[in-house]
Amino acid sequence: MNRVEHLFDSNTLLGECPVWDVRERVLYWIDIDGQKMHRYDLASDNNITRNLSGKIGSFALREQGGFLLAMEDGFYNYDFTNEILESRGCDPEPEQKENRLNDGRCDLGGRFWVGSMNDLNRIQGQFDGNLYCYHPNGECVSHNLPVGVANGLAFSPDASYMYFADTMREIVWRFEYDVNQGKIWNQQVFLDLKNMPGKPDGACIDAEGCYWLAHVYGGKVARYTPEGKLDREIKLPTQKPSMCAFGGTRLDTLFITAISTNPDSKSGADKYKGGLFAVNPGVVGIPEPRFSA
């Protein structure tokens, strides 16, 4: 799989958050606007879909099994097999009804970091989103970081850095990070992509500490070194890749989700209708951390 493979047409409106479960050896991913969660078995080429009762922005595997979902109105536990959705009673932004949780990821300490956004106000250039850290004890800490579209969350393999992007600003930041306390500081611009094709969307980290970023509307994923230098690009048969994640039995397959604002389109670069893609980039990823509660 040295070339990009289109795994299947999924009619996904806003594909996001691919996460490889090393225990089950399957890929989970979501359709935000379609309000769905998918389970893809690479070995059997079988995809199972579950309908949800609202928009899901991201999710994490739980240590005890099941999932932590970041929904429009807060955090939920979810049993994919039995389709049981249970609120955890925590909405980070109860007064901002038009906001929703978006991109999120667990750190190596078992905490879940997630950013928020406003689908309406972002069109007007307003920065109504924020960054939160949801702790296993139920505490949700605001980091008071105004953003337009929260994306690009990832952690370095040695847990010394956290990456976070704002798609509207076309910037990826890097923070120094304390995994023991779950604290971030020293916010620096890691990538300024204003003059690059596309905009920064979802991301992941490989075992060498390089940052893989989906350039939505740019038709590619790109690998950046820890110093912020462009290492390589992989061109894709869609203009709207949304996020990437390493998976497969050796964690050597890069899975890529995509967006299709017009799922009925049959022409051009987006004929795959927000499908799921995969490629072997020649490097391996790291296992996805789990939420510890």
Whole-number Å distance between alpha carbons of 133 and 114: 6
Burial 131-150 (b: 16+ CB within 10 A, else e): bbbbbeeeebeeeebebbbb
Catalytic hit among 31, 103, 166, 201: 201
Query: Dihedral, CA atoms, 34, 40, 46, 51, nearest 10 degrees?
Result: -30
Torsion, CA 120, CA 85, CA 108, CA 225, rounded to 10: -40
245 in Cβ contact with 276 (< 8 Å): no
> What angle is formed at CA 280 by the lines to CA 17 and CA 239, rounded to 5 degrees?
55
User: For residue 232, what are its two tokens?
Assistant: 């390589």
Based on the residue annotation, tell me whether 252 is a catalytic residue of this protein.
no
Phi, psi of 124 (to 5 degrees): -90, 5
- Enumerate the active-site residues: 201
